[in-house]
Amino acid sequence: MTRSDKIVKIVSYIVLTVLTVVMIFPFFWMVLSSLKPFREIYRPYLFPKYPTLDNYRKIMGSSLFPNWFLNSLIVALSTTFSVLFFDSLVGYTIAKYSFPGRNIIFLFILSTLMIPTEMLIIPWYVMSSRFGWIDTYWGIMFPGMITAFGIFLMKQFMETIPDDLLDAARIDGVSEFGIFWRVALPLVRPALASLAILNFIGNWNAFLWPLIVSSKPRMYTLPVGLATFSSENLMHWELIMTGATVSTIPLIIVFLIFQKQIIRGIMLSGLKG
Amino acid sequence: MKCGRDSVAPFRGETMKLRHKKIITAYLFLSVPLTFFVFVRFYPMVSAFYMSFTDWNIISPVKNFVGLSNYVRIFKDPVFRTSLLNTLKYVLYGVPSVIVLSLGLALLLNNITKGQSLYRLIYVMPYITPIVATSWVWRWMYQKPPTGIINNFLNLLGLPSRDFLMSTTEALPSIVATTVWVEIGYCVIIFLAGLQNIPKEYLEAAKVDGANRRQLLFKITIPLLNPVIVFLSVMETIMFLRIFTQVYNMTDQGSGGPLNSTLPLVLYIYQKAFKSFDMGTAAAATVVLFLMILGITVLQLKVLNRRVQY
């Protein structure tokens, strides 16, 4: 390694570390602010003099945050299971069966990727109010039960499964659904993990549609709840930051556990172009 | 299968049966998902187009066909024109910043070996956290002194305080800055993957030919990375065209203020549809958004399909 290579390396480390501070500071400040009592929140120092968990007690005890937390969990988990099942079923069918109309069906599904959600929310809202889906979990979840991107992704992975393997199961008398469920699915587990985790995060963070489809505070998801709670408590930044921490921490934990799958998932989503 | 050759004839009936069974199974497997795509994606899209040609609002049951008058109306509406202009500003300020910064970061990350994945992990954290939460954290940081930490920092350096979200000129760039902070991690991951796909031989060969660091970067690395740059620019353009959550949470009462200076297209649509219940006008605005995204995507396909030889 030459001297100039070494200098480049050292400079890289310095710049990257400085930027790390910039990237991480808002989180740090969020947590510190959530630990400050009200009388300290408008004071210009970093660390609380008398750190307290009172704000967390307040949020969990006298607001709807526990409800919103539960709603988000239910919504994100249910849509993720649905997406895993249907996206891989469709991906498998298109990759492994030949039937009339296969290409047209696949193109039709892919073409829906072009439609921005914003264009669909008005008809979805009309639909939801007609069928009584406003303020229900189904109302929040139904647009995301199956995703075109996931189908595309699963089709790519299902194509790598050798046909002989599926035929062998067929000869053994396994039903067609059994072949999908017990032979194909276990072979694409890594792809399923990435799809699951990205989908969970996406639904946990979703804002626009849940904001529109829920009118009763009890039915809000965490982001919608946090947004309304914050604009109603504009003087109480310590509570706002506590709410923000509460909605962020579960994701950070999920992120740290599944970082490999998340990074791979982001890369896969980048390859779809 | 060699040994199977003789037994093809007796099995022909069986394979026909199997073929039919497979076709029926395939349609059975696709029945629920296809119904979903027709009723939750396709029909609503058609319905939005149709709505944009009617004067429907949710209160009155009548839907009159009014032709293009909704489109004429929004383009005459100064608020809509402001929102269109603001959306353009979001794209013009945001996309180059995200692309340049994340490309720079990815190039730096590519220089180092130890700790690369740790840095990448930290950079991507804002991208996976709820935008509502990060928007409020930044709104808190943008406050006036002595509560706003950024202003405190500026004062510490001897710089004057800024109004940030309170100012009609600074609010939009402030929201862009927050969004750039969110999006950098995503772009760094994609750029880094692209950089690691560049064959080492190309760089080695150029080095042997006496190319210096700058030449390597501008003559080899960046041209080879071009498809990734185009792809990410398109993704980020679409993201900024659809900006909503940040603005809703960082401006007073989700208004896109002060004085509509941060109001983007999607917030205009939201206000028209769900505050004034003017569904026809809102639908027309969503069609405008759709056409913009379609235009960008078609442009991307054109650029990426053009074979470039370096």
Distance CA A157, CA A177 (A): 18
Measured between alpha carbons, how far is B286 from B265 in angstroms, rounded to an integer? 8
Examine the pLDDT at A270 and tell me if it is beyond 80: no
Residue B12 has pLDDT above 70, yes or no: no
Residues A149, A198: contact at Cβ < 8 Å? no
CA pseudo-torsion sign A38, A44, A45, A47 = positive
Q: Which of A100, A122, A243 sits opposite B279 (nearest CB)?
A: A122
Read off the DSSP letter of residue B225.
T
- What integer is the mean pLDDT of A174-198? 93
User: How far is the C-alpha of B114 from the C-alpha of A188, rounded, in Å?
Assistant: 31
pLDDT per residue as tens digits for the range B95-111 = 999 999 999 999 999 98
Which residues of chain B does A86 touch, with a Cβ-Cβ cutoff of 8 Å? 32-33, 36
Residue A86 has pLDDT above 80, yes or no: yes
pLDDT category at A1 given cuts 50, 70, 90 is low
pLDDT of residue B39: 96
Q: What is the pLDDT of residue B8?
A: 41
Q: Is residue A6 part of a domain?
A: no
Contact A241 B137 (CB under 8 A): yes
Q: Decide if pLDDT at B67 tops 90.
A: no
Q: Which has the higher per-residue pLDDT, B4 or B46?
A: B46
Closest CA to A48 of A238, A263, A249, A268: A238
Q: What does the mean pLDDT of chain B come to?
A: 89
User: What pLDDT is stored for residue B85 in this prediction?
Assistant: 97
| A221 inside 8 A of chain B by CB | no
- Structure confidence at residue B173 as a pLDDT band (50, 70, 90): very high
Residues B83/B266, Cβ–Cβ less than 8 Å: no
Point out the residue among A26, A42, A118 whose CB comes nearest to the CB of B134.
A26
**Model pLDDT, residue A265:** 86
Please say whether the beta carbons of B181 and B126 come within 8 A.
yes
Domain annotation covers residue A41: no
Give the integer Cα–Cα distance in Å for B54 and A38.
Answer: 52
Around Cβ B190, how many Cβ atoms within 10 Å?
22
Which of B36, B105, B149 is facing A146, going by the closest CB pair?
A: B36
Mean pLDDT of A176-203: 93
- pLDDT band per the 50, 70, 90 thresholds, residue B210: confident
Residue type, A136: T
Question: Does A251 lie at the interface with B, CB-CB under 8 angstroms?
Answer: yes
pLDDT tier, B219 (very low <50, low <70, confident <90, very high otherwise): confident
Residues of chain B with Cβ-Cβ distance to A245 below 8 Å are 133
Q: Mean pLDDT across the stretch A75-87?
A: 97
Q: How many domains does chain A have?
A: 1
pLDDT of the residue at B6: 41
| A70: contact with B, CB 8 A cutoff | no
Please check whether residue B193 is in contact with residue B201, taking contact to mean a CB–CB distance below 8 angstroms: no
Choose among B182, B223, B174: nearest CA to B202: B223
B245 pLDDT tier (thresholds 50, 70, 90): very high
E-state strands within A121-258: none
List all residues 6 or more positions away from A269 whose beta carbon is below 8 Å from its beta carbon.
A149, A198
For position B204, what pLDDT does the model report? 85
Interface of A with B in 32-61 (CB under 8 A): 33, 41-44
Give the CATH architecture of domain B71-305. Answer: Orthogonal Bundle (1.10)
CB burial string B126-148: b at 16+ within 10 A, e below = bbbbbbbbbbbbbbbbbbeeebb
Kindly state whether residue A8 falls inside one of the protein's structural domains.
no
The pLDDT score that the predictor gives to residue A271 is 46
Give me the domain span that covers residue A160.
54-271
Of B32, B40, B132, the CB nearest to A143: B40
Cβ(B29)–Cβ(A89) below 8 Å: yes
Residue B285 has pLDDT above 80, yes or no: yes
Selection from B263, B283, B261 nearest residue B272 by Cα: B283
What pLDDT, on a 0 to 100 scale, did the predictor assign at position B208? 85
- pLDDT confidence of residue A165: 93
- Closest residue on chain B to A213 (Cα): B274
Choose among A24, B154, B156, A40: nearest CA to B164.
B154
Beta bridge partners of B65: B54
pLDDT at B310: 46
The residue in chain B having the minimum alpha-carbon distance to the alpha carbon of residue A14 is: B108
* Region class of A43: left (phi > 0), else alpha (psi between -120 and 50), else beta: beta
Looking at the predicted structure, is the pLDDT value of residue A10 above 80?
yes
Residue B189, pLDDT above cutoff 80? yes
The mean per-residue pLDDT over the stretch A63-79 comes to 95
Confidence of residue B143 (pLDDT cuts 50, 70, 90): very high
> What is the rounded average pLDDT of the residues B122-133?
93
Give the 3-state secondary structure of residue B65.
strand
Could you give the CA distance from residue A147 to residue A169 in angstroms, rounded to a whole number?
29
Which residue of B lies nearest to A86 if distances are taken between CA atoms?
A: B33
Q: Which residue has the higher pLDDT, B230 or B210?
A: B230
Name the one residue in this structure whose structure tokens are 């995507």. Answer: B297
CA angle A26, A29, A35 (to 5 degrees): 145
- CATH number where A90 lies: 1.10.3720.10
Reply yes or no: is the peptide bond before residue B258 cis, omega within 30 of 0. yes
Distance from CA of A60 to the nearest CA of B (A): 17
Residue A23 lies in a domain: no
DSSP-based helix, strand, coil % in chain A, nearest 5: 80, 0, 20
Assign B54 to helix, strand or coil. strand
Q: Which chain B residues have a beta carbon less than 8 Å from that of A142? A: 40
Domain annotation covers residue A26: no
Q: Does A232 touch chain B (CB under 8 A)?
A: no
Is B309 a residue whose pLDDT tops 90?
no
Quick one: closest CA in B to A96, which residue?
B26
pLDDT band at B13 (very low <50, low <70, confident <90, very high): low
Task: Give the pLDDT band (50/70/90) at residue A260.
Answer: confident
Could you tell me if A103 and B229 are in contact, meaning their C-beta atoms sit under 8 angstroms apart?
no
- Picking from A122, A152, A269 by the largest number of B CB atoms within 10 A of its own CB, the best residue to mutate is A122
**Structure-token pair, residue A206:** 């979703």
Pick from B41, B183, B187 the residue to mutate for testing the A interface (most A CBs within 10 Å). B41
For B211-237, give one letter per residue: b (16+ CB within 10 A) or e: beeeeeeeebbeebbeebbebbbbbbb
> Higher model confidence: residue B192 or residue A268?
B192
Does residue A220 sit at the B interface (CB-CB below 8 Å)? no
Q: CB distance B21–A42 less than 8 Å? A: no
Please list every residue in chain A whose beta carbon sits closer than 8 Å to the beta carbon of residue B253.
231
Three-state DSSP at A145 gives: coil
